[in-house]
Structure 1
Amino acid sequence: MIDLFSGLDAWVVVSLVLALAFVLTFEFINGFHDTANAVATVIYTKAMPPQLAVLLSGIFNFLGVLLGGVGVAYAIVHLLPVELLINVNTGHGLAMVFSLLAAAITWNLGTWYFGIPASSSHTLIGSILGVGLANALINNIPLADGVNWQKAIDIGASLVFSPLVGFAVSALLLLGLKWWRPLSKMHKTPDQRRQVDDKKHPPFWNRLVLVISAMTVSFVHGSNDGQKGIGLIMLVLIGIVPAQFVLDLSSTTYQIERTRDATLHLSQFYQRNNDVLGEFLALGKAKDNDLPERFSCNPEQTEPTINALLRTLNGVADYHSLPPESRIEVRRYLLCLDDTAKKVSKLPALGAREKADLDKLRKDLTTTTEYAPFWVIFAVALALGLGTMIGWKRVVLTIGEKIGKQGMTYAQGMSAQITTTLAIGVANVWALPVSTTHILSSGVAGTMIANKSGLQGGTVRNILLAWVLTLPATVALAAGLFWLASKALA
């Protein structure tokens, strides 16, 4: 990590430090903003003392980030169009990163201050979309190309449907528990438990399930939300110090050979499907010297891009042996080939088996571009874990008492937490970012309906308003900040 600052101008070093600090601040805020949801039920039901619950939640968030991989991280990164990712420079990168982070942090702090369970995922995604759209307007790019809309639609669908799943599954799970054990003490609220049984804590088995499910929610929260911070830091590093981070310089010879082989096999794949793809990719028409001076991703330039990449990687066993300019070119080629392959895989004329083969080739192509150094993962894990340990009280009260007209029972807490763990776990498998806040709060609301407790209109209205307004507010804020930053740099 010390080599990170070697050979950089003073202003770049200061900018880099500030950008990294902004990302870690966002993750720190994410910790005490979102993780309150993970510990809300276990604290409210008196299953664990608040200090112990928050400490253990912080530890499990930390572990979740360390072990969660980088799939969600690059799902976030690829919300930006490939053109913006391959042609970013230091000044542009700084404007992009500071704009989206300032917008995300501002909205997160505002909703936390008012105790509204808003989503850090929505906040970050809205900020990234705002930067992409503003960049399109500034550079006279069609808005259709300003954002990776297919990725945005996939992520948007996961963010919209996951709370609905949380609501329905939590309600059904509670109804199942009431059918199975209708007279169980798990259907009491903490106040009823104290008044009727003169007990402060839940029954043993209910308490155990509440504790375990709270920690699993913390773990999957770390593995999903923590990756967003990892993706942001990689955006910072690639944008400000591209020579060191456009490719994984620790890649083994085998990984580089795997990338080279995937490129060769991709060329063979296209030739094999020439009758279907020939016109779309202009196979046999483009020449190697047709690549434009300002590189852009055009499916009709696929053959020259493949040939240029194979020439650059010929005989390379260690990325350190490539000059910085060549590393940047290799990343551009790989991102562009991956983007084109993704478009090709959606063509209706291509068969299911060919699409599966193409997906495998795409994974091999991105082996050395979709990565994160261990120190990045550790720093984000630490920031998220420490943030978890403060600021939880405001949202705990909202989750426990202000969603339903009655207090939350132990069974409701278990149902909401188990559902949240499963929903985020499935999202992690598919590398989709989801909102812990929305899944858990909607899960609690679902159990309130199933328990015939009713909902508090004011709180539900505030949560829905935050859900609806977060995207447009952060899009507008980030776009405005990016426009101002770009004008200042012009």
Structure 2
Amino acid sequence: MDTFALVVTVAVALFFTYTNGFHDSANAIATSVSTRALTPRAALLMAAVMNMAGAFLGSGVAKTVSEGLIETPHGDSGMGILFAALVGAITWNLITWYFGLPSSSSHALFGGMVGAALAGGIAVYWSGVFEKIVIPMFVSPLVGLVLGYLVMAVILWMFRRANPHKAKRGFRIAQTVSAAGMALGHGLQDAQKTMGIVVMALVIADVQDHGQIPAWVKVSCALMLSLGTYAGGWRIMRTLGRRIIELDPPQGFAAETTAASVMYTASFMFHAPISTTHVITSAIMGVGATKRVSAVRWGVAKNIVLGWFITMPAAALVAAVCYWVVKLAMG
């Protein structure tokens, strides 16, 4: 039973990574596709490869997820808690994907973990949740917004006398690099989140101690994220690429460069698991505001922000219900 529960939980964790890939692939490439810097298929293939590469760049975020948010549960009930957390996150991912709302897979996962932990009666490290999740949830979009505005303002000043057609053509090429950097940051952040969950499952099953991430865990998480990315998240891509603001290549480059910088800083300096969705969305808004504040479709932005606040409680509720169902099924 223990082995079966472990296999099922790991499989569900990998499926979560897959949904994360197609849910969040839009984050990395929507701006490049909307400005026609890359074709959709070329963009998805590039994002899949860079996601794979990013997954191997560090382990700080994985450690935060596996050790810093909830007490490691034990036994069959512990595996049930982890399973319920993942189901809560996947359910919310699928709902928001269906409606084309770019909510955060990361916060769906964290909400699922907290909801399942509370339902299962194990400790939630609220200081860790506050420092590593809640503070970055508010700070990273603000940084993305302000930095996006400043980066775009600098670009506008530097190229104020340039030929507009030549500049746009140059930025279209530059966007290939900035989109790749964004996808690398997505792999660095989001593959590690699932690695942390799989490590926790292995610890619960007494297969290993906290510490090193086995090579097969890194490879499988990276592969599933890449496969999910290549499957594509067209609905969300439309929201990010077109509905917030019509982007041109310089704006796309500024937004992607800003978002990638924020993700690398959060990963390497603070080991904080931040939302790629939040960061790229706020960067697009900041960049758009340099044109004029009214150029940003704030009604769409308002719905997205609403999604940010709903995600954690909604995923927590689904995870708690799922845990009670699992507990009943286990007798």
Task: Tell me the TM-score normalized by structure 1.
Answer: 0.64
- Residue 126 of structure 2, aligned match among 149, 164, 168: 149
Q: Given that residues 33 and 43 in structure 2 are in contact (C-alpha distance below 8 angstroms), is that contact kept between their aligned partners in structure 1?
A: yes
Partners of 1:401 and 1:102 in 2: CA distance: 31
**RMSD of aligned alpha carbons:** 1.9
1:48/1:202 CA distance change after superposition, 3 Å: farther
Match of 2:238 in 1: 397
Shift of 1:400: 1.7
Q: CA deviation at 1:483?
A: 2.8
TM-score (structure 2 length as normaliser)? 0.94
Give the equivalent residue in structure 2 for 1:290: none
AA in 1 matched with 2:18: F
The aligned amino acid for 2:113 is I
- Pairing partner for 1:74 from 51, 55, 63: 63
Q: Determine if contact 1:78/1:151 at 8 Å carries over to the other structure.
A: no
Change in 2 beyond 3 A, CA 1:185/1:387: farther
Pick aligned residue for 2:90 from 87, 93, 105: 105
Q: Is the contact made by 1:46 and 1:202 (CA closer than 8 Å) also made in structure 2?
A: no
SS of structure 2 residue aligned to 1:389 = helix
- 1:56-95 matches, within 5 Å, as 56-66=46-56, 68-82=57-71, 85=72, 88-89=74-75, 91-95=76-80
Is 1:42 the equivalent of 2:19?
no
1:234 counterpart = 2:211? no
Matched residue of 2:22: which SS? Answer: helix
What SS class does the counterpart of residue 116 from structure 1 fall into? coil
Residues 121-270 of structure 1 aligned to structure 2 (within 5 Å):
121-136=106-121, 146-155=123-132, 156-184=134-162, 202-203=168-169, 205-239=170-204, 241-242=205-206, 244-246=207-209
In structure 1, the residue matched to 2:282 is: 442
2:208 partner letter: F
Superposition deviation, residue 184 in structure 1: 4.1
Q: Which amino acid counterpart does residue 433 of structure 1 have in structure 2?
A: P
Q: 2:99 aligns with which of 114, 117, 127?
A: 114
Task: Say which SS state the counterpart of residue 322 (structure 2) adopts.
Answer: helix
Q: Distance in 2 between matches of 1:22 and 1:408?
A: 37
Tell me if the contact between 2:168 and 2:250 (Cα under 8 Å) persists in the aligned partners. no
**2:255 aligned with 1:416:** yes
Structure 1 position 63, deviation (Å): 0.8
CA distance in 1, matches of 2:8, 2:22: 21
User: Is there any run of 5+ residues in structure 1 with no aligned partner, and where?
Assistant: 1-10, 140-145, 187-192, 247-368
Deviation at 1:412, TM superposition (A): 1.2
Distance in 1 (alpha carbons) for counterparts of 2:199 and 2:78: 11
Deviation at 1:489, TM superposition (A): 3.2
Per the TM alignment, residue 185 of structure 1 is displaced from its structure 2 partner at its CA by 5.7
Report the equivalent of 1:380. 221
Check the 8 A contact 1:79/1:129 in 2, yes or no.
no
**1:432 correspondence with 2:272:** yes
Relative distance call for 1:397 and 1:105 in structure 2 (3 A) is: same
| Counterpart AA for 1:153 | F
1:229 maps to amino acid: T
Say if 1:171 and 1:450, in contact at 8 Å, map to a contact too.
yes
Measured in 2, the distance between the counterparts of 1:121 and 1:184 equals 41
CA distance in 1, matches of 2:321, 2:163: 54
Q: Secondary structure at the match of 1:104?
A: helix
Structure 1 CA distance for aligned equivalents of residues 230 and 161 of structure 2: 36
The residue identity in structure 2 corresponding to 1:122 is H
Give the counterpart letter for 2:124 in structure 1.
V
**Would the alpha carbon gap of residues 134 and 72 (structure 1) be closer, same or farther in structure 2, given more than 3 Å must change?**
same
CA distance in 1, matches of 2:63, 2:241: 34
Identify if the C-alpha distance between structure 1 residues 469 and 485 changes in structure 2 by more than 3 Å, giving closer, same or farther.
Answer: same
Please tell me the residue identity of whatever aligns with 1:179.
W
Q: What's the CA shift for 1:80?
A: 4.0
Equivalent residue letter for 2:236:
V
Deviations 1:405-456 (A, max 9, x none): xx11212111111111110000111211011111001110111112115222
1:467 shift after superposition: 0.5
Aligned identity (percent) is 33
- Report the CA distance shift for 1:81/1:21 in structure 2 as closer, same or farther (over 3 A): closer
User: Would the aligned equivalents of 2:37 and 2:249 in 1 still touch at CA under 8 Å?
Assistant: no
Give 1 or 2 for the bigger CA radius of gyration. Answer: 1
How many corresponding residue pairs? 328
Give the residue type in structure 2 aligned to 1:28.
Y
In structure 1, what is the Cα distance between the partners aligned to 2:114 and 2:18?
A: 22
Cα deviation digits, residues 137-196 of structure 1 (max 9, x gap):
xx7xxxxxx31011111121112110110011001111111122225466xxxxxx7xxx
In structure 2, do the counterparts of structure 1 residues 51 and 111 end up closer, same or farther at CA, with 3 Å as the change threshold?
same
Q: Contact between 2:106 and 2:274, CA under 8 Å: does it hold in 1?
A: yes
Give the partner amino acid of 2:238: L
Question: Conserved in 1, the CA contact under 8 Å of 2:44 and 2:232?
Answer: no
One-letter amino acid of the counterpart of residue 462, structure 1: N
Report the structure, 1 or 2, having the larger helix content: 2
Larger deviation, residues 69-78 vs 160-169: 69-78
